[in-house]
Amino acid sequence: MKTTGVSQASKKNPDSCRAFWTMSLLCLLVMPLFLLATEAGAAKITFEPNELTATVAPGEVVTVPVTVSLNDTTADNSYASFSLTRVDGTLNPAWMKSRIPVSLNAMSNTRQVQFQVSVPAEAEGGEYTSVFRTEGLRSSELVAPADLMITVDVSQTLFCNQVPLFSDISSAEETISVRNHKEVTVELSGAVSVPDGCDISDTWYKLIDEYGELDQDEVPLVINDDGTFSVAVPMVASRKGKDKDGRLYTVTFFAENEAGVGESPETTIVVLHDNHEKDKHKKGKHKKEKYGSKKESHDSKKRES
């Protein structure tokens, strides 16, 4: 009977029922605004940059740094621990770690996180994107969640896996006559080539003097557009009196690309111990040529007569 009485009272007071549903509707409308206001006043996790792109060739491994910060905390002892977890996207999960733990606090509120991307050699070219989100959050105060977007651009550019190659190395002189400590230059030339997909980043040559007086480690070398080069290497035309086999200079060329450093075979130039032997050789050759010329002239006159 009491239940019937309450039911009848409700029927007699429709305003109270209407008030209940009105309050319920207001709660549904106000609650999201309350949550937004609360999140707006919460501490924040930020990424720098918050969207990044890594260009990777098939078969290549690259490391992408991202700075993670905890900002707008309200206490000196605030902290936040969480994981950056892949939640969505077309990026193959096998190409990079799907969970990266991060711990920050008010005293040490910034940390650099390394994302390592490993693209298999058989990967197809194109863009692959994934969203990483702060999950498993444990903190001393309310911290708003944050997203990080990573795009991997798989380039079909050929991967550089061979160092530069030198060829046709030649020297204008293999020996130098003694000239009483006179400074001379010896012209050396050659060519350097790189495989497809590689670019030369640096070139230089190294000079080694047997006496250690003119050693030079990294002398810049200019390469022409067609890969050829020519350089005048300074030397001194002198040798020690007891150095019977002459003073030895050694030149080696170097070039660097993405795969490493390539070097040329060594080219040697010798300062002769004694110029007289060279002069005798020249005089003997000259006499032989002169005698041959006279003999030919004599034979010619004999035939004419």
Q: Is there a domain that residue 32 lies in?
A: no
Residue written as token pair 């709660």 = 27
Q: Is there a domain that residue 140 lies in?
A: yes
For residue 9, the model assigns a pLDDT of: 45
Structure tokens, 254: 């170097």
Shared domain check, 169 and 144: no
Per-residue pLDDT of the chain (305 residues; tens, 9 = 90+): 343 444 444 455 556 666 666 666 655 554 443 344 344 568 889 998 888 888 888 888 888 888 899 988 888 888 999 888 888 899 888 888 767 888 998 888 898 888 888 999 888 889 999 998 888 888 889 888 899 999 999 986 666 778 999 999 999 999 998 787 889 999 999 999 988 778 999 999 999 999 999 999 999 999 999 999 999 999 999 988 888 889 999 999 999 998 899 999 999 999 987 655 444 444 444 434 444 444 454 455 445 54
For residue 17, the model assigns a pLDDT of: 61
For residue 270, the model assigns a pLDDT of: 94
Shared domain check, 236 and 136: no
For residue 301, the model assigns a pLDDT of: 46
Strand ranges across the sheet with 126-139? 51-56, 147-154, 126-139, 79-89, 99-105
Shared domain check, 181 and 113: no
The angle, 0 to 180 degrees and rounded to 10, between the axes of the packed helices 2-12 and 14-40 is 80
Torsion-angle region of residue 51: left (phi > 0), alpha (psi -120 to 50) or beta? beta
Q: Is there a domain that residue 245 lies in?
A: yes
For residue 296, the model assigns a pLDDT of: 52
d(CA 217, CA 264): 15
Contacts of 218 (CB under 8 A, 6+ apart): 204, 206
Q: Give the phi and the psi of residue 30 in degrees, each rounded to 5.
A: -80, -30
Shared domain check, 138 and 48: yes
Contacts of 173 (CB under 8 A, 6+ apart): 186, 187, 269
For residue 167, the model assigns a pLDDT of: 95
What is the sign of the dihedral through the CA atoms of 64, 65, 71 and 73?
A: positive
d(CA 65, CA 114): 5
Shared domain check, 171 and 113: no
Which of 154, 180, 205 represents a domain boundary (last residue)? 154
Torsion-angle region of residue 216: left (phi > 0), alpha (psi -120 to 50) or beta? beta
Shared domain check, 185 and 136: no
Shared domain check, 137 and 66: yes
Shared domain check, 148 and 103: yes
Q: Residue 149 is part of a domain; what is its CATH number?
A: 2.60.40.2030
**Domain limits for position 96:** 43-154
For residue 253, the model assigns a pLDDT of: 97
Shared domain check, 94 and 137: yes
Number of domains comprising the chain: 2
Closest CA to 258 of 202, 210, 205: 202
Q: Is there a domain that residue 234 lies in?
A: yes
